[in-house]
Structure 1
């Protein structure tokens, strides 16, 4: 069996935060709703079935993002589309001007037109003891998103505070980006090679004739996971029990109103015990997590 050093090409399978945005409310579990990418963490690390010899390595890396893209949503109502568009554009232009004092210029901002819809309401008409409701057109609503690129997450609080001055409160989502993914790939691949050499050394003594195996086939799967896909939610409280008693002959009714319980979200990234090696394992930051799965297969001649 010949010595092999894995030299792969960059293959990305990007799945789409300390800062995550309101996308956490997309479903009851508290995550963004994207399908989670799961590798087979419990597959055998070394498999020898007589015809093939297979090595599997799984690496995890925690990477600080180089830039962030924040999506803010806003809407505007008015009696006509022209008035509606003028009002929402005035808010957007004011917000963009405010961002310039932090070095966020027009190249870092984009506006996405989402929708224009009619708004309807009901008008009540009373005729004696009868009240009727007629649906009528009330006006129009326009929705737009402002998409902003940040190179420093320290500006996030200022962005949120400034947005509120223009009645922009909906932080839809935050995406994280790494500038040099090739560097991340190379570092993880180097780690996978170290583990491969250790396993080959450990397993060679159990192989009857290593020279019977030809050149290996190598499979590399490499992908990143956005932080928002890994947040979880819980509500911590204890509530008293209330027993309701009703009287069939009484006209009294009871309404139970509970206090609002706040949801707690927390970051729960990939667990390190599912991987052969974890790079930057003890970092406290919330960032991108990269996963590399390497399979090296030797086949007998």
Structure 2
């Protein structure tokens, strides 16, 4: 009996470990309310997670049949642009400019040695402002503090274009040598964006044609004689907008709060992860498996078709002869 109990306990423990590995700390962070700061950024309607997973069917009113297809295409970037911020302070204008120029020149020169060509590096001037500090007036019984110039601060951004994501560790290593630690963002780009939408449009048309044939051949709905209205829409989501963050930790209390002394909280790192647009609402997903953060193109095509009412009599065309007779005319 003890062996059976231990076996069940082991299976339950292993099951919980497997579930943790399958779902990840993101779900643990969502469950542990109060102890975890979880922020899941949402940037468009496509990324909303439905509360009710059961599909809802809405029948349109009147004599219109509406068909819709939504397509998502995951595309690996062809080029990347990383933006680093350089901030330099100095006592004088010349000193500030010289120090920053020296850092940039060294950074740009060493980037070329790791495979970044000179024409793929661009320097963007951001700001050049004076710095002030408060100085107390040296007067008897005076409490006045005046702002006086202390120095200058210059900021510039370095834009670096590259074609292979494996270049980023090399770029970061060179940047660290010149005390450049602020990676502002990385932009992703697809060279032939038009071709992506052409592929999605063709798949949308093929999907809708297949649905119309299903209505006509299998369900007996007359969609061939009605007029049609077609509309389309497109949207794109870049990786820079798809990162979410959370703090994964759990506070354990062993007997309440301390009675004496101060509580010193430990530093709890924040986890960031790429949270792609979910596939829930899409009929077709091109390149569904995403290993590297991808540019996600979204396309929707909707068609409305007027359906003939079987109870409404077919209008007849007649010809009034000179003798006063009504002769039916068949018009195809």
Q: What's the TM-score bracket when you normalise by the shorter of the two chains?
A: 0.7 to 0.9
Deviations 1:86-127 (A, max 9, x none): 211111111111111233223211111111122123457999
2:225 to 207, 212, 220: 212
Q: Is the CA contact 1:46–1:53 (under 8 Å) kept in the aligned structure 2? A: no
Matching of residues 175-254 of structure 1 within 5 Å: 175-204=187-216, 205-206=218-219, 208-214=221-227, 216-241=228-253, 243-245=257-259, 254=261
1:104 partner SS: coil
Q: TM-score, normalised by structure 2?
A: 0.70
Name the counterpart of 2:111: 99
Report whether the alignment pairs 1:293 with 2:308. Answer: no
2:79 to 48, 67, 84: 67
Q: Distance in 2 between matches of 1:45 and 1:185?
A: 28
2:280 partner SS: helix
Deviations 1:212-268 (A, max 9, x none): 312x3322212221112111111111224462436xxxxxxx433211000011111
In the TM superposition, residue 44 of structure 1 has moved relative to its aligned partner by 7.6
Query: Is the radius of gyration larger for structure 1 or structure 2?
Result: 2
Q: TM-score, normalised by structure 1?
A: 0.77
In the TM superposition, residue 75 of structure 1 has moved relative to its aligned partner by 0.4
Name the counterpart of 1:266: 273
Q: Distance in 2 between matches of 1:30 and 1:81?
A: 44
Matching of residues 6-155 of structure 1 within 5 Å: 29=39, 31=41, 36-39=43-46, 48-122=60-134, 135-155=147-167
Structure 2 unaligned blocks of 5 or more: 1-37, 309-332
Q: Label 1:134 to 1:257 Cα distance change in 2 as closer, same or farther (>3 A).
A: farther
Between 1 and 2, higher relative CO (CA 8 Å, sep ≥ 6) is seen in 1
Q: What value does the CA root-mean-square deviation take over the aligned residues?
A: 3.1
1:97 partner SS: helix
